[in-house]
Amino acid sequence: MRENLHRFFRAARGAGVRVSPAESIDAMRAVSAVGFADRAILRDTFLLTLAKTQDEKRALGDCFDLFFSQPEPEQDKPDLDKSDDQDKQGSNPSADAHGDSAGGAPNDNIGPLAQMLLSQDRSAISTAIANASNAAALPDIRYFTQRGIFQNRILDAMGLQRLRDDIDNATASNPSLAERLQDALNGLRGTVRDAVSQALLLYGREEAENLRNEILRNAPLARIEPRQVEQMRNLIRQIARRLRERYSKPRKRQRRGHLDVRRTLRRNAAWGGVPFLTAWKRKHRDRPKIVALCDVSGSVARVSDFFLLLIHSLHEVVDDVRSFAFSGHLIEVSDILEKKSPEEAMKEIMAKVGFGSSDYGNSFADFEDDYMSAITPQTTVIVLGDARSNNLDPRADILKRIGERSKRLVWLNPEGRMVWGFGDSEMPRYATFCSVVRQCATAKQLERAVSDIVATYQ
């Protein structure tokens, strides 16, 4: 049963429940106290010891119901002809149990699997499937393409080859027995197929989600399908959480600093060098301040959506974030992003400045007139856009002044480098005044770019 609990904990993690080793130990101690007899009490025990949020409770409850539900073995369907035969043999009950009274081969010569199927003992069949599943390492299933492999492994472990031999031998000597065995085998295949499908739902969910996320991470953001938008938003939130965890830990250590060995030894010279008093090295680091200018014209609006969501999810790492959106003119959208959901925020932003023809020159002029004071020597300015100004004045002189006033000027372009400078693209001219210029067309590239920006302040 301990092995079953370990498998359940692994399935729970795959369902999105965060289960630490300490929590799993607490859960096992609680289970040892309540026992396994009452499934309702066992379910509540897991919910109390493992789930931390309502979402985790729902996920854990569904996982419990799926994990502890065993597929029922399929029984042979009654057949009228077989019923007639059984009526005729009613005077000889041993004929059903040991063979065909008409002189067929006795059932004592068939294998254990055939005898089990003929007896229709559900408990024995379920136990045999469970034992064969363990022997076939069914919890190791990860992908739907492995279903056939594990089905064959389980059936082989149960003695499928001997059952086939029994069917072949009975076909000539006892056709009725052969037909019953074949029907029972078909039912067994269905039960095993259900057990493998159940295991795939339990143990393959995390791997399938990781595969989907990896595909999304490398998919062009501008070409994300509508049905994938919510999945991408969840992926961006995961990226933000990962960045927060990665770059918040050094700040916790930074409060105390690092041990200054020389000062500590000098300070404790009177006690023979025993370090009663300690001295620490502290190095002040400014938390990053970010000003983001996002082009929300039709060609890059989707990329800006995910970029703004990522930037505004890093409040624990980034001290101050001010966001601006533009196409023909520029407005500040920081309050909109902080007070509203991503869907509502982007809807309002797009209604105000989105889907217009991009005018970088006029937008930069709006920023210089109204918001230039937001830039300090500690500020990193990030411009997200394709730098296509529709052949209007690009006002690269304003971008130059922004770069001189800020700590760093980073330009993230969702277009491929091969098209920079062609048509109405002003990217080569803008790149002259930027500290960093990077292609940023996928979530993976976006994560790497933001990670590099935050890492410079550590």
Residue 97 is predicted with a pLDDT of 39
Query: What's the angle, vertex CA 420, arms to CA 297 and CA 407, rounded to 5?
Result: 75
Q: Classify residue 279: in a domain, yes or no.
A: no
CA distance 63 to 57: 10
Buried b (16+ CB within 10 A) or exposed e, 288-310: bbbbbbbbbbebbbbbbbbbbbb
Amino acid in position 34: V
DSSP letter for each residue of 193-219: HHHHHHHHHHHSHHHHHHHHHHHHHTS
Q: Which of 48, 69, 90 is the last residue of a domain?
A: 69
Q: Environment class of residue 172 by beta-carbon count within 10 Å: exposed (0-12), middle (13-18) or buried (19+)? A: exposed
Residue 84 is predicted with a pLDDT of 46
DSSP H helical segments within 218-259, as ranges? 229-256
DSSP letter for each residue of 292-358: EEEE-STTTHHHHHHHHHHHTT-TTT-SEEEEEEESSSEEE-HHHHHHS-HHHHHHHHHHHHTTS--
Q: Classify residue 307: in a domain, yes or no.
A: yes
Instruction: Give the pLDDT confidence of 159-193 residue by residue, as tens digits.
Output: 989 888 888 888 888 888 889 989 989 989 988 98
Q: Which of 69, 103, 124 is the last residue of a domain?
A: 69
Give phi and psi for 379, each to the nearest 5.
Answer: -95, 135
Q: Which of 69, 97, 124 is the last residue of a domain?
A: 69
Q: Classify residue 56: in a domain, yes or no.
A: yes
CA distance 433 to 411: 10
Residue 372 is predicted with a pLDDT of 94
Instruction: Give the pLDDT confidence of 379-394 residue by residue, as tens digits.
Output: 999 999 999 988 899 9
Beta bridge partner(s), residue 290: 321, 380
Q: Classify residue 219: in a domain, yes or no.
A: no
Residue 81 is predicted with a pLDDT of 45
Best CA proximity match to 163, nearest among 149, 148, 178: 178
Q: Classify residue 324: in a domain, yes or no.
A: yes
Residue 95 is predicted with a pLDDT of 42
Q: Classify residue 106: in a domain, yes or no.
A: no
For the chain, residues with pLDDT lower than 70 are 70-108, 206, 248-257, 282-288, 315-316, 319, 456-458
CB atoms < 10 A from the CB of 286, how many?
A: 11
Q: By residue range, what is the domain housing residue 298?
A: 287-455
Q: Classify residue 89: in a domain, yes or no.
A: no
pTM, 2 dp? 0.59
Q: Classify residue 202: in a domain, yes or no.
A: no
Q: Could you give the number of structural domains in the chain?
A: 2
Residue 98 is predicted with a pLDDT of 41
